Chain A
Amino acid sequence: MPGILVCSSIVCDAVSMPTREVLGMARTIAAKTGEPVSAALLGAGVSSLTQSLIEGGADSVYVCDNDKLGEFHANIYLKVLTGIAATVNPRIVIFPGEVGAIELAPRLAYRLKGGLVTDCIGFEVQDDAVIFTKPVYGSKALARMRVACPTALVTVRPRTQEPFGPDQNRKGEVVAVQTMLEDIQPETRIVERVEEEVFECTLEAANVVVSGGRGMKDPESFQQLRELATLLNGAMGATRVAVDQGMVPPSCQIGLTGKIVAPEVYFAVGISGASQHIAGMSGSKYIVAINSDPDAPIFSISNVGVVEDYRNVMPTLIDELRKALA
């Protein structure tokens, strides 16, 4: 019977949250079709994580534990994944929408002669196919897409699916994958790796996000946003324009290309509301907009708005909130 294959990813020596979410999605599809759910697990020293994948919804785990997989090199990972896919013969291959999938998913689709839908946020199971929903035109429209060949591949946007379990009583099969990796060389050599300073908490996990955009005058203006974010135990974000102007590092970029966030409270400061940016934050529970232009599109998606130059608002706002929360 054809099945569902989940390509898991590992973050900080644990199964990533987006992987657990796509396992939940796979279980929902399997509940309707009766198909088995397999998970591919690649890395160096990852064998201890197989049980966590089974508890999270996998019926079987294909694990390739090899020193050559310690560093991520797409061409080596692809060789292993192609081998696992040949064994499992999946009808659907699901990737959590993390950075690795940007390269792995299309290249695996090519090798499996399959069709790929990226950045899926929803799905429906039909008799003979799964229809995937994906935002298009900078999230101004939604497309329902069907894969018209035997293998469907999909990358799924984080925080759009519910994880399964974990159910500690689940049992599953573990298959050790032996792929010959001696004679394959990485396509690239990693010269340097810089991890940007993460302050307080990561953007994606933050309950409060304070972001600035085109209206911010200089990098110093972002200090006020950082101050408010720190006060509220949140994180600071920015629009693409602020990144392009060099006011903040690219890791702060929130938007369709950039990070997708859905905090409890989102402060949009000096942000007009380009669709590229809205695509990355419209899932926020409560949106506060501060902008001197009363016609800025950001107000139409906000819960509360202040029409004012942020420089006249921020110092008092920070003081007032500090007093109230003390």
Chain B
Amino acid sequence: MHIVVCTKQIVDPEIPSGEFKVDFEAKRAVQDQGELVLNPYDENAIEVALQLKDRDKDIKVTALTMGGESSQKVLRRALAMGCDEAIWLKDPSFETLDSAGTAAIIAKAIRQAGSADMILCGRQAGDWDMGQVGALLAEELQTACIPLAYNIEKKEDALFVKRETENGMAVLEVGMPVLLSITNSSTNQPRYPSVKGVLMAGRKQIPTFSAGDLSIEAEIQKRVVVEELTIPSYDRQVLFIDGEDGPEKAVNLAAHLIKMNLLK
């Protein structure tokens, strides 16, 4: 059984808003502010795949990413966590794709690299927060699709998938091939790479695929265009409540809230 996990390198989403900078000309975040990291939901997806592999050694897990020179780092991280192989989709023309174009290229690469029984994506990437490449991939590859999944049990050839719903959770049975978009839960917190894993990952060959390798000749037209990127302001003037100690501050806070007539 072969699992492909789609990953993306993004500007660290933990950068505080005060330090976050935008390149207004390029209409994207300034890339060199702090670290570029593996999208957190993709880490949850890798963890879900590795948990299946922990229970069944015949499962092969391949991490895939699309991006420029720096993005090799996320594949090394995925390998160090325990993925078996990596695929790097690397071409200057890939760097300006929208969600539809990205899904189309990834689908071609998955077909060319051999089939996948299960494809995992993070529920959305913490940069553009579009959350649509996964479902688009399911359409491209004509697989079943389950969004907001966080845990998978495999019994024979059947999969039992836990997913979030509007007001709780559901367990779904689904066959393969299937695409799952993964959301965070206490059950899929990403493992830390072991020292051995990091050493092995450093030595691994990572095959790259360019547009030419995937027989893409024509330019891929964008369906969604970013017209402008701006930084909103949420700032409010905060009033700090004084007091000698916690209980006194609590008394003063309660009095303030009552005076403001905020609570009914």
Contact = CB atoms under 8 A, between A and B. Distances in A.
Interface string B21-34: 01000010100000
A312 B174 CA distance: 49
B13 A321 contact: no
B34 to A, nearest CB: 12
Contact of B14 (A118, A193, A207, A274): A274
Contact of A208 (B27, B170, B225, B263): B263
A53 B167 CA distance: 24
- Per DSSP, are chain B's interface residues mostly helix, strand or loop, or mixed? mixed
A102 B149 CA distance: 12
A243 B17 contact: no
Interface stretch (B74-82, B84-92, B121-129, B199-207): B121-129
B223 A147 contact: yes
Contacts of B29: 137, 141
Interface string A188-217: 111111111010001000011000000000
A264 interface: yes
Nearest to A308: B246
A189 B132 contact: no
Q: Which of A115, A143, A300 has the most CB of B within 10 A?
A: A143
B100 interface: yes
Given A109-B132, A303-B238, A305-B238, A257 B123 contact: yes
A265 B148 CA distance: 29
B13 A190 contact: no
Contacts of A207: 264
B223 A115 contact: yes
B116 to A, nearest CB: 17
A189 B11 contact: no
A109 B262 contact: no
13 contacts: A102-B148, A106-B139, A110-B140, A116-B130, A135-B232, A136-B229, A141-B29, A143-B228, A251-B167, A276-B13, A304-B238, A305-B238, A305-B239
Interface in A55-111: 74-75, 98-99, 102-103, 105-107, 109-111
Contacts of A140: 15, 17, 20, 231
Interface stretch (A25-33, A38-46, A168-176, A281-289): A281-289
Interface residues of A, number: 94
Interface of A: 11, 74-75, 98-99, 102-103, 105-107, 109-111, 114-119, 131, 134-149, 187-196, 198, 202, 207-208, 232, 240, 243-246, 250-251, 256-257, 264-265, 274-276, 278, 282, 286-289, 297, 299-309, 311-317, 320-321, 324-325
B20 A141 contact: yes
Nearest to A245: B186
Interface residues of B, number: 92
B183 A257 contact: yes
B226 A143 contact: yes
B100 A118 contact: no
A29 B253 CA distance: 45
B240 A307 contact: yes
B246 A312 contact: yes
Given A136-B129, A251-B167, A321-B263, A297 B16 contact: yes
B123 A146 contact: no
B197 interface: no
Contacts of A244: 184-186, 189
Q: Which of B126, B129, B130, B256 has the most CB of A within 10 A?
A: B129
A20 to B, nearest CB: 17
Contacts of A115: 98, 100, 222-224
A29 B138 CA distance: 32
A1 B258 CA distance: 56
Contact of B165 (A148, A188, A193, A306): A193
